[in-house]
Each structure stands twice: as C-alpha cells, then as structure tokens.
Copies of this chain bind each other. A is one copy, B any other.
Amino acid sequence: MKNSIGTSVILTLFGESHGPAVGAVLDGLAPGLAVDEAFIADRLSRRQPAGPADTARVEPDRFQLLSGVYRGRTTGTPLVIVIPNENVRSGDYRALEHVARPSHADFTAQMKYHGFQDPRGGGHFSGRVTAGIVAAGAVCEQALAAKGIRLATHILRCGGVEDAPFTDVASEIGKIEGRTYPMILDLGEQVEAAVLAAKQEQDSVGGVIQTGICGLPAGLGEPWFDSLEGVLSRAVFAIGGIKGIEFGTGFGLSGMRGSAANDPFRMQDGRVVTASNHSGGINGGITNGMPVIFNMAVKPTPSISRPQQTVDFAEGKDVELSLTGRHDPAIIRRICPVVTALVCVVLCDQLALRFGTDYLAQP
C-alpha cells in the first residue's frame, strides 16, 4: 500500500517538499461529518514553526478541499486536501544532489529510485509531507471527539527536560493543547532553551513523545496481525524521525516481574477497569477500555550545520558535507500534532471496520 494506510478509512499521502503541493486523500469516511476549516487550520498551525527553535521556512499552509465535501460535510467519497508549497528556495539544495546527508533518506532514496527521486528539500521524504497528515487527521479528530474519543501527544522528554507522563488523560489533554510546546507541565521555555543551545553548537536534539487516548471502546484490534499495537506502530513509523515505540510501561516491563507488571482488573461503577495501566490499555492486541498510552523515540534531527563525513554517491567517493539551508534543530514540538493526526486516522479506520462505515456519523 506504500503511501496509503487503512482498510475502511484510507489515507493516501502525496507531494514533495519543493513541488507544487503536498496533500492527502482520505477515502471511506462516513458521510455527514462536519468539515471545519478553521479547525483544520488550527491543527496545521500547531505544526508550523513557532519561534527561534524552529526552521526559518514558514509555509502559510493555505489548503484547498478539492473533493469529498459538500455543504460543509463529508460526502462519503474521497476527500482531497491540497496544500500548495509557497515558500520554496530550491537553490539551497542543488549542490548536494548526490551527497548523502548522514542518517537522512538521500542515499536510500537513491538505492530505491535510481536517481529519479526529487532531491530538492528531501523531496517526498520531507517533513513537509506531514502537513497532509495533519489536515486529514483534523477531520478525523472532530469525528472522534463527537464519539467521546479524545487524544493528544506531548513532549515527554527533550534536552534534559522531563514532562509529567499521562496519569489522567482526559484532563491533561486540555493542558497540552493550550501550550505552544505541547506539554502537561509548563516547561516549554526550558525545552526551547535546550534546543537553542544545541542550535548554537550547530547541532540538534531528539526526545521522547507520548500519546494518550481516552474514550476508546474495548474490543478494537484483532489477532494476530491487526493488533492495535501493530496497527499504530505501522502508522507512526511512517515518520522517519521515529525510531522506537513502546506501549504502556513498554521497555520498563522487561525488568519487572509479572506480579508487578500485571494490571489487576476490578469492577468500578459496573465497568471492568484495571488498577494500574502498565499494558497501555491493550491486552492481546485489543483495547481493554483503559486509556491507550504509548511513547515514541524521536531521534535528533539529522540535518545539522556542522561539517560531517559522508559520500558523494554519484562519484562514489568520500566527501565532507557542510549543510546550509533551513532546518529545525529539533522536530519534536512539530511532530506531536503529526502523530496525533495519524492516530486519529487509524482510530477512525478501526472503528469503521468494527462498527460499520456509518458508525462515526451515527448520533
């Protein structure tokens, strides 16, 4: 499926960093869902650069809805969002066409596309393509909210700064959404300072982000290969900067004993709940009705200004690379709304598969 994900609700991405536009096709959404352009714009704005710690390339992200919306609501047929690229300075990249930026996709794209890939600004591998995810995810997010399903992604750890982990997802989502740096605690300035410190040293930083979802019904996900962990992982690993994912206590579980790691069930107000949530809301690949929580490792942005050793793959020789151009010394702030959006698409798909194509639109 390459650039598409989903079975009943299907997202397809397209576009290159310096081509005419990026965008997305969202097929299979229930008919009758409100499409709120202001909300889409708000979600896109959370992905935009917002200060000295982000790239200098600021795109207005004026989007067009080419199809699938009629009188402000989804029609049930493919919704196409096109986001033109307006702030393009391709001259920055031309010299480096055959010089592989370390830990970037330049070399692997060359191995896959044999020199026909669009190299400008990373081409189709650029983070620019995630604008389409965010716009499509915004439509899904509102559909989920109408069903009582809410989620957010925050910076859990970055540059030595540590946010609080999710403990009461429903209330913490509001805090995260209110801040420029999506965090539960008010630590944005400290994160920004850490990022700027790296930038000053011509370097970059990574971190850990965490997504929390509340309001999901029990029973989503299927053995063996559509486990919810598997489905969510496949989605988030679309983002090249993510190199790890763990559900609930994740790698922490590996050092625990079963007696401590198991989540005891108990009845609460007639519902089955668990006393702890080391499982991250998923048992046997299926949601158990508790909040779904997972962490992702974000590597430091590979584009750094320091000189780096690499190769010119056209000439087959070692070279030193000094990057100019505009890049983020950290993408962690901007990656959070992208992950949230991807997860929204995945959840809409799972709900439609389980409960039918009209489920999200039912009152």
Contact = CB atoms under 8 A, between A and B. Distances in A.
Q: Which of A70, A237, A318 has the most CB of B within 10 A?
A: A237
A334 interface: no
Contact of A7 (B7, B15, B231): B7
A157 B256 CA distance: 12
A235 B287 CA distance: 18
Given A225-B235, A256-B206, A265 B10 contact: no
A238 B157 CA distance: 28
Contacts of A129: 224
Contacts of A66: 14-15, 19-21, 23, 82
Q: Which of A64, A103, A306, A356 has the most CB of B within 10 A?
A: A103
A225 B3 contact: yes
A291 interface: no
Interface in A206-254: 206-208, 218-219, 221-227, 229-231, 233-238, 240, 242-254
Contacts of A65: 20
A316 interface: yes
A257 interface: yes
Contact of A123 (B13, B77, B198): B77
Copies in the complex: 4
Contacts of A285: 105, 108, 237-238, 240
When A and B form their complex, which 8 residue pairs have the shortest distance between CB atoms, in order from nearest? A105-B284, A244-B246, A204-B258, A108-B286, A233-B233, A230-B237, A31-B116, A244-B250
B223 A125 contact: yes
- Looking at chain A's contact residues, is the secondary structure mostly helix, strand, loop, or mixed? mixed
A100 interface: yes
A58 to B, nearest CB: 21
A317 interface: yes
A223 B244 contact: no
Nearest to A217: B111
Interface stretch (A164-172, A183-191, A294-302): A294-302
Contacts of A23: 66, 80
Interface string A98-123: 00101111011101111111100001
A154 to B, nearest CB: 14
Nearest to A309: B264
10 contacts: A14-B77, A20-B64, A31-B112, A70-B123, A76-B116, A77-B117, A108-B221, A158-B254, A244-B244, A267-B318
